[in-house]
């Protein structure tokens, strides 16, 4: 088959259209332009179908892209029009959208409803790829008078392949590095291509494009006609309006420019990562406050993520005993300035490369290469740009992203541009293949260089649109935090002349004080708005190009935006399965969905004249006092806090944190922490009321230790539906948790050690510190003066006492009387872990020493309630096991008030 016909077939034209266009226009580019402007829409294939206008329910013509991992050989062959052209002549077309029916349920009509039903969304994929590293060559580039390294073939082909990508990459590299470029006018003139022509790695991308602009148009020394040095096709005589216009002539140029440009981007980005990691290593010190591990962090990020909660190998010391250590903030301004400079350079590089992305919507209309997308362009975008974008999109701090908005705005521009091109749009849904390990390294010598072969293991991870959704969730939470507190409008009263004069005199004074804060609020607001606009634009483009069914399938795989726990929606009952492995998987999936939700914490008041509601909250009075307050700095801090909390609360089988935030007052928060594995608190549910006061986050939040109890509510705030997790003041679970609910923690200013850092410390740090430092393996060590008594009989006895109290109150008490708004969370927590908790209870019974509680050490007498392991403790364990079995069997559990829930 003629090479020119093959080129047109790659972009989606039918064979009949290609032949008809080439009969009239000998030049491939001219033929392509005429096909795309509709001049050949009337040309039909032999089967009578009209090309270029496919119906939604019919598979579209194949375009140059990448084969999805699910594509079967039979499916690919069935899609080839063997009557029109020989597939061997055109090689193996690669297309994201090639396997239309490969996995679709044709019997139910899925393929008709969604012609892209075969596009691969699953991340359950693993590939082993042998990659070659060669010693780079150097060459002197006369046009730029510079000695540079040349891109090796191994660098060019680096990454996890899809379908026939490797053959396209190999062919283009060899064609542009060592083949002859002949004059297309038949005069036998040719030019020998060299690697230094198309593959020099300059320090600046602009230098590379300038270099290409100088060499890409050649004039035949025999016929004096111009031709393209990259593809060997004729070049029109018209002059270009811009020096770079000549670089949009053909797919070969597009492929090599994006390949080399994205290699420069990846190299620059990796250098910045390594430099940042090196700086952190030099400045790293022992940090006392643990922070959570974000989801799906790549191995390259291990300097930025937080350690998981683990209680089994920690230093046997109490909390807050690090002396007067303070965080070293020296050099922060210099570091921020350095980061800003790096981001500006990276943003400029991204912007320069984006000019060459295929885009039919560019100013002045699409260029030839915008329609003829080369398969190597798709390969490099998926391999190299996806690496950079995934690293940036995995950032778990909206504040950091906002501070680096110059870089993130450009990243959003890239995502929008990619989603607007039919040949690229499916990339938004496909998983990103990331390096998980290097299995082996083999070295060998060739006649020209030293070569290393490495076996790289790639695994699927979240795709670009899925990663963006996590940021969308943060942005929506931040916007909610920036909303003013909703209060009823007061009746407008006409001011006197004296009042007007005073008001005029005061104008501008408050604005001057809060100007910087207001600007920062506006900056964050603008950034969040842009994130949401980008997500909508991507979805809109995908619907236009791929159809509603495609986008609907994509959205089912996205992380869910936190909803309302008080909306009364029907929650699906989560099935734990028959094994602990299935239970763990179900638990993680469930906990990720419900770890952060908004809810209604207000209490109906009998006082009809009271416009300010009461709240089911320990700090009800403090919250009511701030009902009409507008504190911009506080609003900004809360907005940033909510953005982090929505997607970064730690969730694990061994310990999780759940939050409920009032839907109209985001400063009112309730927290539930499940006890970590390996501690006497394991699987208990511990509740806290959190209030972000008027000085937050210049000052720490207010935190009270709470749980449910059916009596003595008047001892606390009048409208608080919770009671202290001390069984009426009898229990003290930890030296840092008092009977009155006080939480002793250096971050809160209630314990010795490093304290709250204004503007830097977060509520998330407080929650994780409670989870890891207070709910610890040996709580006895947290008592002043006992920090070195690890493993002593006194410490073991203290832990035994805690276990008994945990069973009675944090497990049995919460299960019988689950406190709102965590009733559903508590019941599901115990149901999914019921079998595991039963085994745990048996182990605790065996470990119990049978001795009564030491009231002096526990802050209260437990003996009168539970006695010893042979009496009260055993009774509590048996009762708890009975309730757990009811949960397993799907039976209702009667609450303390006589009602029942499953």
The pLDDT value recorded for residue 448 is: 60
The pLDDT value recorded for residue 859 is: 42
- Chain length of the chain: 902
Range of the domain at 228: 127-321+334-396+431-462
The CB-based long-range contact list for 740-746 (8 Å cut-off, 24+ gap) reads 741/618, 741/704, 741/705, 741/706, 742/704, 742/705, 743/688, 743/703, 743/704, 743/705, 743/770, 743/774, 744/320, 745/319, 745/320, 745/703, 745/769, 745/770, 745/773, 745/774, 746/288, 746/319, 746/320
Rounded-to-integer distance, Cα 204 and Cα 873, Å = 72
Rounded-to-integer distance, Cα 887 and Cα 834, Å = 8
Residue 470: inside a domain: no
The pLDDT value recorded for residue 237 is: 60
Residues 6+ apart with CB under 8 A from 687: 670, 671, 672, 705, 706, 707, 708, 722, 725, 819, 822
Domain identity same for 662 and 786: yes
**Strand bridging mode 596-599 / 657-662:** parallel
The pLDDT value recorded for residue 295 is: 33
Domain identity same for 454 and 583: no
252 alpha-carbon distance from chain centroid: 34
pLDDT digits (tens, 9 = 90+) for 228-246: 999 999 987 655 555 678 8
Three-class SS state of 765: helix
Give 602's strand partners: 615
Residue 658 host element (H or E):
strand 657-662
For residue 262, give both structure tokens.
């994205």
- Tokens 């699409």 locate to 366
The pLDDT value recorded for residue 4 is: 72
Residue 100: inside a domain: no
Is the Cβ–Cβ distance between 798 and 780 less than 8 Å? yes
Is the Cα dihedral 60, 63, 65, 69 positive or negative? positive
Domain identity same for 454 and 317: yes
Domain identity same for 680 and 821: yes
The pLDDT value recorded for residue 464 is: 94
Nearest to 617 by CA among 548, 530, 515, 691: 691
Positions of the chain with pLDDT under 70? 1-3, 6-12, 26, 28-30, 32-33, 36-38, 44-120, 237-243, 277-331, 442-449, 484-515, 564-571, 605-610, 707-731, 851-870, 894-902
Active site residues: 744
Residue 485: inside a domain: no
Nearest to 32 by CA among 292, 360, 334, 324: 360
Number of H helices, E strands in the chain: 30, 19
**Strand bridging mode 702-706 / 900-901:** unpaired
The pLDDT value recorded for residue 894 is: 67
Three-class SS state of 181: strand
Domain identity same for 708 and 596: yes
Residue 133: inside a domain: yes
Q: Cβ atoms within 10 A of the Cβ of 749, count?
A: 11
Rounded-to-integer distance, Cα 413 and Cα 416, Å = 5
**Strand bridging mode 146-150 / 596-599:** unpaired
Domain identity same for 580 and 691: yes
For residue 510, give both structure tokens.
């408050």
Rounded-to-integer distance, Cα 733 and Cα 731, Å = 6
Nearest to 752 by CA among 788, 723, 789, 785: 785
Is the Cβ–Cβ distance between 216 and 233 less than 8 Å? no
The pLDDT value recorded for residue 567 is: 44
Residue 547: inside a domain: no
Domain identity same for 570 and 458: no
The pLDDT value recorded for residue 212 is: 93
Domain identity same for 449 and 595: no
For residue 433, give both structure tokens.
């293949």
pLDDT digits (tens, 9 = 90+) for 168-179: 999 999 999 989
Residues 6+ apart with CB under 8 A from 842: none
Domain identity same for 449 and 568: no
The pLDDT value recorded for residue 777 is: 92
Residue 740: inside a domain: yes
Intra-chain end-to-end CA distance of the chain, in Å = 69
Nearest to 766 by CA among 741, 787, 745: 745
Domain identity same for 575 and 448: no
Residue 502: inside a domain: no
Domain identity same for 436 and 581: no
Residue 838: inside a domain: yes
Domain identity same for 744 and 882: yes
What is the number of domains present in the chain? 2
- The CATH number given to whatever domain includes residue 677 is 3.10.110.10
Nearest to 848 by CA among 814, 802, 810, 880: 802
Is the Cβ–Cβ distance between 413 and 316 less than 8 Å? no
């Amino acid at each position: 088959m003629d090479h020119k016909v093959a080129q047109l077939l790659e972009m989606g034209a039918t064979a009949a259209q290609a032949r008809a266009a080439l009969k009239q226009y000998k030049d491939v580019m001219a033929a392509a332009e005429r096909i795309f402007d509709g001049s050949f829409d009337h040309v039909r294939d032999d089967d009578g179908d009209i090309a270029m206008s496919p119906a939604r329910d019919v598979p579209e013509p194949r375009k140059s892209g990448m084969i999805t991992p699910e594509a079967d050989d039979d499916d690919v062959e069935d899609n080839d029009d063997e009557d029109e052209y020989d597939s061997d002549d055109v090689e193996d077309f690669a297309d994201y959208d090639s396997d239309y029916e490969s996995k679709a349920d044709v019997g139910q009509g899925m393929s008709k409803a969604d012609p892209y039903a075969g596009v691969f969304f699953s991340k359950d994929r693993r590939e082993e790829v042998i990659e070659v590293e060669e010693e780079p060559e150097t060459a002197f580039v006369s046009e730029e008078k510079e000695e540079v390294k040349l891109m090796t073939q191994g660098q060019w082909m680096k990454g996890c392949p899809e379908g026939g990508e490797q053959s396209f990459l190999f062919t283009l590299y060899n064609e542009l590095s060592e083949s002859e470029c002949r004059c297309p006018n038949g005069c036998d003139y040719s030019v020998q291509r060299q690697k230094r022509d198309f593959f020099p790695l300059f320090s600046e991308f602009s230098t590379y494009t300038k270099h290409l602009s100088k060499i890409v148009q050649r004039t035949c020394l025999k016929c004096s006609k111009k031709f393209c040095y990259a593809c060997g096709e004729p070049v029109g005589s018209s002059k270009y309006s811009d020096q770079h216009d000549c670089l949009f002539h053909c797919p070969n140029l597009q492929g090599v420019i994006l390949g080399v440009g994205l290699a420069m981007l990846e190299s620059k980005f990796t250098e910045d990562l390594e430099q940042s990691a090196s700086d952190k290593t030099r400045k790293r010190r022992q940090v006392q406050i643990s922070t959570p591990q974000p989801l799906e962090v790549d191995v390259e990020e291990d300097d930025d993520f937080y350690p998981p909660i683990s209680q089994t190998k920690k230093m046997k010391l109490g909390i807050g005993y690090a002396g007067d250590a303070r965080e070293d903030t020296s050099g922060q301004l210099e570091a921020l300035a350095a980061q800003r400079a790096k981001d500006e350079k990276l943003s400029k590089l991204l912007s320069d490369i984006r000019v060459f992305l295929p885009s039919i919507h560019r100013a002045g209309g699409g260029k030839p290469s915008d329609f003829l997308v080369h398969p190597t362009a798709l390969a490099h975008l998926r391999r190299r740009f996806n690496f950079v974008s995934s690293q940036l999109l995995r950032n778990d701090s909206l504040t950091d992203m906002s501070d680096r908005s110059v870089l993130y705005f450009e990243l959003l521009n890239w995502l929008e541009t990619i989603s607007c091109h039919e040949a690229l749009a499916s990339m938004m849904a496909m998983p990103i293949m990331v390096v998980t390990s290097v299995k082996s390294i083999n070295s060998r010598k060739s006649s020209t260089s030293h070569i290393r072969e490495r076996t790289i293991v790639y695994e699927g991870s979240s795709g670009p649109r899925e990663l963006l959704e996590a940021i969308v969730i943060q942005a929506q939470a931040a916007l909610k935090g920036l909303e003013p507190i909703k209060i009823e409008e007061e009746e407008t009263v006409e001011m006197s002349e004296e009042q007007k004069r005073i008001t005029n005199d005061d104008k501008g004074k408050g604005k001057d004080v809060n100007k910087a804060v207001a600007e920062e609020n506006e900056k964050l607001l603008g950034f969040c708005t842009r994130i949401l606009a980008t997500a909508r634009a991507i979805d809109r483009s995908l619907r236009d190009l791929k159809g509603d069914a495609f986008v609907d399938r994509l959205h089912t795989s996205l992380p869910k935006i936190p909803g309302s726990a008080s909306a009364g929606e029907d929650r699906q009952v989560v099935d734990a399965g028959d094994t602990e492995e299935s239970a763990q998987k179900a638990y993680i999936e469930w906990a990720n969905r419900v770890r952060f939700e908004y809810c209604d914490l207000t209490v109906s008041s009998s006082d009809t004249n009271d416009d300010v509601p009461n709240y089911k909250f320990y700090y009800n009075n403090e919250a009511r006092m701030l009902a009409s307050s507008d504190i911009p700095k506080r609003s900004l801090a809360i907005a940033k806090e909510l953005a982090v909390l929505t997607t970064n609360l730690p969730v694990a089988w061994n310990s999780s944190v759940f939050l409920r935030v009032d839907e109209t007052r985001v400063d009112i928060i309730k927290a539930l922490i499940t006890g970590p594995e390996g501690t006497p608190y394991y699987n208990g549910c511990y509740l806290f009321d959190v209030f972000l006061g008027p000085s937050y986050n210049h000052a720490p939040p207010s935190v009270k230790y709470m749980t449910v109890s059916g009596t003595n509510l008047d001892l606390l705030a009048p409208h608080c539906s919770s009671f202290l997790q001390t069984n009426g003041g009898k229990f003290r679970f930890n030296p840092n948790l008092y009977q009155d609910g006080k939480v002793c923690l250096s971050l809160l200013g209630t314990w010795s050690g490093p304290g709250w850092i204004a503007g830097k410390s977060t509520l998330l740090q407080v929650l994780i510190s409670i989870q890891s430092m207070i709910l610890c393996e040996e709580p006895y060590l947290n008592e002043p003066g006992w920090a070195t008594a690890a493993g002593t009989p006194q410490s073991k006895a203290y832990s035994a006492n805690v276990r008994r109290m945990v069973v009675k109150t944090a497990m049995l008490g919460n299960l019988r009387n689950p406190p709102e708004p965590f009733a559903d969370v508590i019941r599901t927590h115990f149901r999914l872990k019921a079998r595991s908790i039963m085994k745990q209870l048996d182990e605790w019974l065996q470990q119990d020493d049978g001795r009564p509680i030491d009231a002096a050490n526990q802050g209260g007498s437990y003996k009168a309630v539970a006695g010893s392991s042979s009496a009260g403790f055993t009774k509590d364990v048996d009762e708890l096991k009975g309730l757990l079995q009811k949960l397993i069997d799907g039976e209702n559990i009667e609450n303390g008030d006589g009602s029942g829930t499953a």
